[in-house]
Chains A and B, each alone.
Chain A
């Protein structure tokens, strides 16, 4: 393990307060508490937090941090689930919320340039104002940032049709430890010259450097969308339904799945537009031209007819939100079953989803805990919520046993322990089991090319 600075000296403080004057540098314990945790609820206190407003400040910071072997923890809105922003070994947290300009949205290039602290939904709104579309839509889209989404390669509901954040990044500007600035890619939608370094930064969770600017690809804004909530008598039929839809040549922009336990939790919060006898549900969304969307919804009905769904609710215009209410209520609704959860986002090849869900249910039954399976069926990324009461040590142990069983199952099925959230602190220990020693060795060697002293976000899983 590299030798890191052990604490913040008076000279360190002087450097930071000089580089980040006024409220740009935070040193007070009470204020620093805000930077100690994230949506993972893991916790460690940084020694300082700084708020750069320009690339030049970032360059000076990383020149200094590298020389001082100071751990650096990048952070924006800190909405991640796995503890990637938690400053495990103290050091300096870098809040990028003040680098939040949309620099350009170009209708001619179908590309945009942004700083990392721009809120993703604000950016999408600005694009929509020009008839343009940036599709990645993680659940946190209204509260998370472009920089955070790029660093974690955020996915989302629309990934089945449009792919994940990685597929939309054309170029990046990043500052490396030591103060070098690397400009990778650009506005060209195609580029095969050299290694695709920018892609290494997408999903690297801040381990290679600090992203200071990003160029992303845009497409024309779809004119309209419709959503369809379909109820099925049982799990097997819902899986047949999904197969039937994709088999009919349809490509929805979202295909979400909800199992019986999930529906139970949501129904406890109120009525949803789904038949009472439904024990599984699929939620489809189509976007495009009005004629195209209407035709696709009709083809969906036809494709589903042989599997005999118990209800079909189509939501268009303002009514579209009503069919999504059930999906949006899952996360808060899950707490109606137990006060705590382990939230995992396993991803398997689409054809193996039924096996994953079956094993998750079995594991839940064996442990005596409710396990919710829901999420992005269209791309095989199933969220499993292992509900438990953290006040009861037996339930906590049982929940972790279920989690480990599911991790192994995902890998055995040819999938991954994380399709979206990353590994950070909460899944770090399981990473070598999935990747194997050789991949981990290569990744560490690559990391040291960018960050020889491993000061960037140390202590986290790959």
Chain B
């Protein structure tokens, strides 16, 4: 067993607190898919290697959505997604290669891939591939939502401040409208947005077991920030933000603290902007809380304030079921998770969120009558 696996293997006291939050366990009723079982499986593997096959352990433990909710509630600091990533890293397969290629070549693949997926005739969209192809098609988001929030007054909080904007791969390569809306808001706030050379946040690769590649991306992004004079970094994707916040290679503890403090969710920056809601706004808006947004979820705070009574449904413990590399390994398992999510949003005719992965998944699985988009699309 590699050090990367064994460093995660021994903290679990089997209390079961994580069972409360695991969306996969809740949706499937399969105890072996819960975080406690995965921790224990690795403990047994470490203590009694002859009893279990590491390859089979990696395959079973790899059935993890990577939502990170179990890590948040664990009193022992057990990091099951980290453990799963280490197992995936030690046992790479074709699916993880495919996932890695998809993430590392986003610039070349995402937009053409999305278009190509849309061209595949309906009859070739098998049950297994159908949702995946629909997700790829949906990444460009079609025409997007009709904006209904117009900024009227801007606070001076960030006026004149030099800032970086971490847009993330989705906004950079397929959802340019998110990037444009973010830049318009930051311009209105008077922030001075610096040119950047950011690459992918690396969180998708890290979860899939490509620790070295993800580490290189982290180092590159921190270097960009360092060279820019360590300014604040505005972020509008919850998963990117969680990925950036988890970086762990810094020059000093002081720099680590500085990095953590520099990360600014865009929804926090825009909270004090005065918006006017136009008449075309839906009165039945739902909000999907991304797993990676954590308890505080600044997007949710912003939208509750901005939308008032129009926000009629919210998810909380429900995961969208995107699942990263697991989606390729076991698409059937993500479906019941996704169903529970839509069940919680059933009364909404428009669903907003702030995570590019969640949005790709929700766009691909939305009922016909429901529009899905990033909250940035609502801003005109």
**In the complex, A38 has a CB within 8 A of chain B:** yes
For residue A331, CB closer than 8 A to chain B, the reply is yes
Complex CA distance for A78 and B20, rounded to whole angstroms: 12
- Asked if B29 and A117 sit within 8 Å, CB to CB, the answer is yes
Query: Quick check: is B226 within 8 A (CB to CB) of the other chain?
Result: no
User: Which of A24-32, A190-198, A437-445 binds B?
Assistant: A24-32
The residues of B with any CB-CB pair to A shorter than 8 Å are 13-17, 19-20, 28-32, 34, 37, 40-41, 44, 51-53, 56-57, 59-60, 75-76
The residue on A at minimum CB distance from B33 is A34
Residue A51 interfacial (CB < 8 Å): yes
What are 26 sample pairs from A and B whose C-beta atoms fall under 8 A apart? A28-B56, A30-B53, A30-B56, A30-B60, A33-B32, A34-B41, A35-B32, A38-B14, A39-B15, A39-B16, A40-B14, A41-B13, A51-B29, A77-B19, A78-B16, A78-B31, A79-B16, A95-B29, A97-B29, A97-B30, A100-B29, A143-B16, A143-B17, A143-B19, A144-B16, A332-B75
A106-163 residues at the B interface, CB under 8 angstroms: 117, 140, 142-144
- In whole Å, how far is B159's beta carbon from the nearest beta carbon of chain A? 34
- Identify which of B14, B28, B52 contacts A37 (C-beta below 8 A): B14
Any B CB within 8 A of the CB of A433: no
Contacting pair A33 B37 (CB below 8 A): yes
- Identify which of B17, B28, B59, B76 gathers the most chain A CB atoms within 10 Å of its CB: B17
Given contacts A41-B14, A100-B29, 20 further A-B contacts (CB under 8 A): A26-B32, A30-B32, A30-B52, A30-B60, A31-B60, A33-B37, A33-B52, A34-B37, A34-B41, A37-B14, A39-B15, A77-B16, A77-B19, A78-B16, A95-B31, A117-B29, A143-B17, A143-B20, A144-B16, A331-B15
State in angstroms the CA–CA spacing of A23 and B28 once bound together.
10
B13 engages A30 (CB within 8 Å): no
Interface size class of chain A, counting residues whose CB lies under 8 Å from the partner chain = 20 to 34
> Which partner residue on chain A sits nearest B57 by CB separation?
A30
CB of A408 within 8 A of chain B?
Answer: no
Chain B hits for A332, CB < 8 A:
75-76
Q: Find the residue from A28, A30, A77 having the highest chain B CB count within 10 A.
A: A30
Residues of B contacting A23 with CB < 8 Å?
28, 30
Whether a CB of chain B sits under 8 angstroms from the CB of A98 is yes
Residues of A within 8 A of B52 (CB): 29-30, 33
A:48-85 near B, CB below 8 Å? 51, 75, 77-79
Q: Would you list which residues of chain A between 352 and 390 have a CB under 8 Å from chain B?
A: none
Q: Which residues of B contact A117 (CB under 8 A)?
A: 29
What's the Cα separation between A34 and B13 when bound, in Å? Answer: 14
Please, which residue of chain A has its CB at the minimum distance from the CB of B25? Answer: A97
Interchain nearest-CB distance for A140 vs B (Å): 7
Which residues on B sit within 8 Å (CB–CB) of A40? 14
B37 touches A79 (CB 8 A): no
Docked-complex contact A35 and B20, CB < 8 angstroms: no
Q: State how many angstroms separate the Cβ of A243 from the closest Cβ of chain B.
A: 34
Q: Is the CB of B40 within 8 A of A33?
A: yes
Beta-carbon contact of B32 and A31 below 8 Å: yes
Complex: how many Å from CA A79 to CA B14? 8
Residues of chain B within 8 A of A34, CB atoms compared: 31-32, 34, 37, 40-41
Residues on B with C-beta less than 8 A from A30 are 32, 41, 52-53, 56-57, 59-60
| A residues in contact with B29, CB < 8 Å | 51, 95, 97-98, 100, 117
CB-CB under 8 A from B34, the residues of chain A are 34
Residues of A within 8 A of B28 (CB): 23
Question: Which residue of B14, B31, B44, B60 contacts A97 across the interface (Cβ within 8 Å)?
Answer: B31
- Nearest CB in chain B to that of A35: its residue: B31
> Are B31 and A79 closer than 8 Å at their CB atoms?
no
Tell me, rounded to whole Å, the shortest Cβ–Cβ distance linking A131 to chain B: 21
Q: When chains A and B are docked, how far (Å) is the Cα of A77 from the Cα of B29?
A: 10
Residues of A contacting B76 with CB < 8 Å? 332, 335
Residue of A nearest to B52 (CB): A30
Q: How far is the CA of A28 from the CA of B13 in the complex (A)?
A: 24
CB-nearest residue of chain B to A23: B30
Distance A38 CA – B32 CA, assembled complex (angstroms): 12
Q: Residue of B at shortest CB range from A32?
A: B32
Shortest distance between the CB of A391 and any CB in chain B (Å): 12
A35–B20 Cα gap in the complex (Å)? 18
Q: In whole angstroms, how far apart are the Cα atoms of A40 and B40 in the complex? A: 13
A410 shortest CB reach to chain B, Å:
24
Whole-angstrom CA separation of A41 from B39 in the bound complex: 12
User: Closest residue of chain A to B17, judged by CB?
Assistant: A143
Q: Which residues of A contact B15 (CB under 8 A)?
A: 39, 79, 331
Which of B30, B40, B44, B51 has the most chain A CB atoms inside 10 A of its CB? B30
Least Cβ distance of B181 to chain A in Å? 34
Measured CB to CB, the closest approach of chain A to B300, in angstroms, equals: 17
- Distance from B238 Cβ to chain A, minimum over Cβ atoms (Å): 24
Q: How far is the CA of A331 from the CA of B14 in the complex (A)?
A: 13
Measured in the bound complex, the distance between the Cα atoms of B52 and A377 in whole Å is: 45
**A449 to nearest B CB, angstroms?**
32
A99 to B, closest residue via Cβ: B29
Alpha-carbon distance A78/B51, docked complex (angstroms): 22
- Shortest CB-to-CB span from B192 to chain A, Å, is 39
Contacts of A79 in B (CB 8 A): 15-16, 19
A206 to B37 alpha-carbon distance, docked (Å) = 22
Tell me which residues across on chain B come within 8 A of A75, comparing CB atoms: 31
State how many angstroms separate the Cβ of A137 from the closest Cβ of chain B: 14
Residues from chain B with Cβ under 8 Å of A95 in the complex: 29, 31
Given contacts A51-B29, A331-B75, A332-B76, contact A33 B19 (CB under 8 A): no
The 10 closest A-B pairs by CB, nearest first: A332-B75, A34-B37, A34-B32, A97-B29, A79-B16, A98-B29, A31-B32, A30-B56, A143-B19, A142-B20
Q: Which residue of chain A has its CB nearest to the CB of B28?
A: A23
Cα–Cα distance between A140 and B14 once the two chains are bound (Å): 13
Residues of B within 8 A of A32 (CB): 32
**Which residues of A sit under 8 angstroms from B40, Cβ to Cβ?**
33-34, 37
CB of A161 to closest CB in B, whole Å: 25
Mark A83-107 against chain B: 1 for CB-CB distance below 8 A, else 0.
0000000000001011010000000
A35 to B16, CA, bound (A): 13
**A75 vs B37: C-alpha distance when bound (angstroms):** 14
